[in-house]
Amino acid sequence: MKFRQEEDSIGIVNVDANHYWGAQTQRSLENFPQGVELMPKSQVMALVAIKRCAAIVNNRENKLDDKRKDLIVDACDRILKGEFDQEFPLTVWQTGSGTQTNMNVNEVISHIANKDEKVIHPNDHVNMSQSSNDVFPTAMHLSTLKNLHENLLVEIKETILCLKDLEEENSDIIKTGRTHLQDATPVKLSQEISAWRTSIERNLALIEQTSKDLTYLAIGGTAVGTGINAKKEFGDQMAEELSRFLDLDLKSDENKFFQLSSKSSLVNVHGTIKALATDLYKIANDIRFLSCGPRCGIGELIIPANEPGSSIMPGKVNPTQIESITMVAIKVMANDFAIAMANTQGQLQLNAYMPLIIHSMDNSIILLSKSLRCFREKLLKDLKANKEVIDSNLENSLMLVTSLSPHIGYDKASEIAKYAYNNKLTLKQASLKLGYLSEEEFDKYVDAKKMV
């Protein structure tokens, strides 16, 4: 392996000559755990976008000449196209400010730009008017917004449409309702599905609403929020330039001290993602219960057979998509705790747990997006009602007796249900035996269609 020597304020280090990073990236590789989680690519690309826009703004402010601006912009564009993905090897488990990843980006951009002539310095030019302390949290907001718009929100909307189709497909089916996992009064299968759809719709609205806070950026605050070494207008101009480049409506937060020290906006956004995960867990569990069987359980829903369910029991079909998405939901809940706990550790002017926060956020959004697509494509789209079992269960339900309460009173209706259960009779048979209603009266009052 060939090495080149790179120097920083601490001294000289050897760097693999085949790579574009510099001394600070190399030190991070040597000082922190390797072979573990890397900084999310979405965060790295957001940092590159910031560097690109900063070069343009610094040039506009006459702080950076045209030549250096063009070299930085060109290097950033090449990185954003995916030409240098292998140049960002740093782990999440580094300094809590993300300084080493910020410098990794600065060094790679400068080395690409300096291919023909060494005129770009990673700190003096690429990092001009910036600090890791305002750049990294700005990138966290940008990467999260991008991930939401390009991944999770898309999958949520598609899932809502899928559930609407399921509602329409099952609009005429009346089934036994269940509360406390015990038989309850009837409900339409479409009504049951409508609860699933509405919970996801409401989660979508909350995610969209809370994510608006992420449009307020820390950029321009530099080291501690005062904006030292940056012009007063730099934050506003960066928000405008990033808005144009990323097609987002971004703003420079009027209080940079808040943006540097608190990550509550990210906590709030992830809280709504966690809420979605909890509802998806519930929906998946509903399908798990209703499809259990196929002969010795409830068996009212039929799940698609995507793969053999057992290595020993032939013909077994397991609810694998349900098991997958519920595990993902638990992981999202765990990520939510990590993000919330990390936000409590904002000490004085800076939160120094930012890599953990963005790693957890990125993991939740990408994992949930991909899992939701599988859940929809491999389960929901081919979910079928077992009408024969549904009708049989409805006919045998003792809770149809509820419709008799207004006519004969709660106590007599309860007596009919208990008598039918203890003597293995239908409700009609029990009612006639006890003499509380004629057959005509029973048929008039006990009609599942009138109960939904």
Omega before 294 within 30 of 0, i.e. cis: yes
Query: Over the range 170-180, which residues count as b (16 or more CB within 10 Å of their CB) and which as e?
Result: beebbbbbbee
Tell me the three state secondary structure of residue 347.
strand
Would you report the helix, strand and coil content of the chain in percent, each value rounded to 5?
Answer: 65, 10, 30
| Catalytic status, residue 121 | no
The two structure tokens encoding residue 94: 């580094």
Q: Of the listed 19, 97, 310, 403, which one is catalytic?
A: 310
Catalytic residue flag (residue 180): yes
End-to-end CA distance of the chain: 74
Burial of 292 (0-12, 13-18, 19+ CB in 10 A): middle
Q: How far apart are CA 110 and CA 107, in angstroms?
A: 5
Two tokens, residue 408: 């004969």
Q: How many CB atoms lie within 10 A of CB 117?
A: 9
Helices (H), 148-176: 153-169
Dihedrals phi, psi of 216, to nearest 5 degrees: -90, 125
The single residue of 9, 42, 143, 180 carrying the catalytic annotation is 180
Q: How far are the Cα atoms of 131, 141, 347, 350 from residue 224, in angstroms, in the given order? A: 9, 18, 12, 7
Structure tokens at 44: 């790295």
The 3-state DSSP class for residue 319 equals coil
**For residues 23 and 8, is the Cβ–Cβ distance under 8 A?**
yes
Biggest CA pair distance of the chain: 102
Rounded CA-CA distance 142/214 in Å is: 7
Note whether 73 and 60 are within 8 A (CB).
Answer: no
What are the catalytic residues? 180, 310
